[in-house]
Structure 1
């Protein structure tokens, strides 16, 4: 426990006596959120273990509790993936130019080309132990599908991908029905009936993403935590949004424009993502919190602006966590 507390203290960039974060009673909203966290069924099933995952580099605190499903044991650790390598010498597309392309595509979109609730992604997060003798491990890559209807009904499906075949899809929708293939292990499957929103069908899942960039910034701040509007907060908030919604052309244009206006995002060249798709890489390697030890990459389709994926890598050695510069902290690959 002392090692975990030391990690949290080191990761917190704000002193307890400073600004709006100084010690004080919780607001009613914060108290409700804390109660949901402490008493939710998923939290009770979760493995009580302090780890670094994608949010560790992009949230203000820099380290969070990562909850994984109880049937994933320590034996599920796999090799850390190799970082994506953008072709720095190849022609790059600026975010501003790509935003204009996405905006032109949005203007040609039809009424049926709106967003839909839910998402489909493959993700992988490192799990890093702290303290003497702690051995770093890695969570098996997961493929996750969520779908929600206007009446609140929907489903969640999480399947472990085969680590020997990175990027191979293990979820199939042949005939319009989702099913798992034989080489995928189902980690979580749940169907929700129609009814009022709960923790799985909360305000984010019910609030359609705006098509106006400024309105999108406001939503990312109010619903997804990008209150300071820093680039790390923005990237974390976009990831959270994309886990709730799959954007259409108009929402995609707003996302690319928000990225184009973000401080510190620079083009890094063409790249092939983990699903074999060609895209343009955009990198942020500015301040990321207490440790300032990561590079965050966003991969976008150079023709449409579609959000293809993210990757976070370490930019310096962190001996206390047995981390070397260049190692991958997390990746997310988004699918339609």
Structure 2
């Protein structure tokens, strides 16, 4: 049995890589963020501390996250590489003086009034997005990171079957020395492609029609597994939904009403997103995943659709080797329409 198998046997159900469902990739990445976090102001959870010690102690292992996959290696490396994170978005004045909950409800009405997209015969839900993730590895108590841009295309049928095409572009680094360090640790520096086909009921884990009642949508997204989900997780669920489902006007409006009900959500201002589109930003500040961060959704004021999602570390990076404020995740939703399923 190799080191990876040893540690996975120890971890059992705690290993976040064991669930390959599309909607759980962000959860696996956040598991690493929690392990790397060193927020001393947060109250320690004995169970989480035990899990963290188990992961770090097992086989002198290194936890490496690459595009949602978890790998373990035993090696001590020199000075870590530092990730060249994207520029922070600049927020302008708010579009109105309304509080966030009122403004989101207003945008929900805008969404509800939009015409329903007509569906040609023989087509399925087709979505495109650009996604950027900070991938990190720990070795000998030190962290190396790279930023990995990904282009996602997906096709989904009514019975939640479909295809996901993920193209990873070459990661970026602050210097050539950082690139060499990342390669020393086994990190990829070239492009790659992963195409996955899903049987009925397996594409996203969210099956059936998207609810058009805010309370029902909130429960549907949570899957009935954790009724105590915090506001950040509900916001992230909405953001993930926008990346895998084609929402009609009523469903987009319901998603915005769900966001409007979240405690702590605030207006960040107007913004030009990473695809050059104007939008309105709404954020929650939280250390729910181990480090103080700002979680933001960007809404199209003309359609009520989500344009993007961002996660930014605000005051400390813990053991993540980035300079705060630092973008650690962003999603830019580019296309949502009906198209033929590829052969």
Fold match (TM-score > 0.5):
yes
Deviation at 1:282, TM superposition (A): 0.9
TM-score by structure 2 length?
0.63
Matches within 5 A, 1:237-316: 237-285=237-285, 287-289=286-288, 291-316=290-315
Q: Could you list the per-position Cα deviations for residues 69-102 of structure 1 after superposition, in whole angstroms to 9, with x for gaps in the alignment?
A: 78x9xxx996211111211477566442342343
Deviation at 1:335, TM superposition (A): 2.2
> What SS does the corresponding residue of 1:218 show, helix, strand or coil?
helix
Q: Could you list the per-position Cα deviations for residues 27-59 of structure 1 after superposition, in whole angstroms to 9, with x for gaps in the alignment?
A: xxxx9x88996486999xxx99x7439xx99xx
> What SS does the corresponding residue of 1:241 show, helix, strand or coil?
helix
Residue 84 of structure 1 is aligned with which of 71, 86, 89? Answer: 89
Q: Could you list the per-position Cα deviations for residues 117-168 of structure 1 after superposition, in whole angstroms to 9, with x for gaps in the alignment?
A: 464221111123446562431232101111111355532211134778xxxx
TM-score by structure 1 length?
0.64
Deviation at 1:203, TM superposition (A): 4.1
CA contact (8 A) 2:91 2:271 kept: yes
Q: Could you list the per-position Cα deviations for residues 288-325 of structure 1 after superposition, in whole angstroms to 9, with x for gaps in the alignment?
A: 32645111111111222211111111111235333432
CA contact (8 A) 2:130 2:333 kept: yes
CA contact (8 A) 2:310 2:327 kept: yes
Q: Does 1:123 align with 2:131?
A: yes
* Structure 2 unmatched runs, 5+: 1-11, 40-44, 53-62, 72-80, 173-189, 336-343
Matches within 5 A, 1:142-221: 142-150=150-158, 153-161=161-169, 185-191=191-197, 196-197=200-201, 200-201=202-203, 203-204=205-206, 206-221=207-222
Alpha-carbon RMSD: 4.4
* Structure 1 unmatched runs, 5+: 1-30, 165-183
Distance 1:293 1:215 in 2: 29
> What SS does the corresponding residue of 2:282 show, helix, strand or coil?
strand
Deviation at 1:281, TM superposition (A): 1.0
Q: Which position in structure 2 is the counterpart of 1:13? A: none
Pair 1:211–1:109, CA change in 2 (3 A) = farther
Distance 1:131 1:36 in 2: 19
Deviation at 1:276, TM superposition (A): 0.9
Pair 1:40–1:301, CA change in 2 (3 A) = closer
CA contact (8 A) 1:213 1:255 kept: yes
> What SS does the corresponding residue of 2:218 show, helix, strand or coil?
helix
Distance 2:289 2:222 in 1: 21
CA contact (8 A) 1:145 1:158 kept: yes
Distance 1:152 1:252 in 2: 19
Give the number of equivalent residue pairs: 269
Distance 1:39 1:290 in 2: 19
CA contact (8 A) 1:253 1:305 kept: yes
CA contact (8 A) 2:67 2:133 kept: no
Q: Could you list the per-position Cα deviations for residues 193-230 of structure 1 after superposition, in whole angstroms to 9, with x for gaps in the alignment?
A: xx543xx43641x322111112111212226x663242
Q: Does 1:97 align with 2:103?
A: yes
Deviation at 1:235, TM superposition (A): 1.6
Distance 1:69 1:89 in 2: 35
Distance 2:155 2:148 in 1: 23
Distance 2:20 2:283 in 1: 36
Pair 1:302–1:226, CA change in 2 (3 A) = farther
CA contact (8 A) 1:142 1:158 kept: yes
CA contact (8 A) 1:91 1:269 kept: no
Q: Does 1:328 align with 2:336?
A: no
